[in-house]
Amino acid sequence: MNKSDIIEKLQTLTPKLRKTEAKKLVDSLFQYMVEQLATGNRIEVRGFGSFSIKVRKAGKIRNPRHGTSIDTDERRVVYFRAGNEMAKRVDYKNN
């Protein structure tokens, strides 16, 4: 599933919503999420999961193909943790 699939599904679920409006809505939602994460805020969607920022320490990484090591700076990465409801539905073995 990609962004255009989400826009199409939103449009089919809400027939009065035009495709351009659905696209603007999805784009605005994703933009708002990016802005919140960029400022260090956590995003939690009950039943789905939460997005947060984790800090990766500076250190050395190794390229196994060439055997060279590179120093990396500290960086921030997006971390997603699935909510209980989503985790249960995805883990079909336990359903």
pLDDT at 95: 53
Query: Residues 70-90: what's their mean pLDDT?
Result: 92
Domain range annotation of the chain: 1-40, 42-95
| pLDDT tens, position by position, 43-56 | 999 989 999 999 99
CA distance 42 to 25: 21
Task: Among 28-32, 35-39, 61-65, 78-82, name the one with the lowest average pLDDT.
Answer: 61-65
Looking at the DSSP bridge assignments, the partners of residue 69 are 62
Options 3.30.980.20, 4.10.520.10, 1.10.510.10, 1.10.357.10; CATH of 42-95: 4.10.520.10
User: Does position 93 have pLDDT exceeding 70, yes or no?
Assistant: no
Residue in 81, 77, 82, 86 with CA at minimum distance from that of residue 55: 77
Q: Are 20 and 4 in contact (CB under 8 A)?
A: no
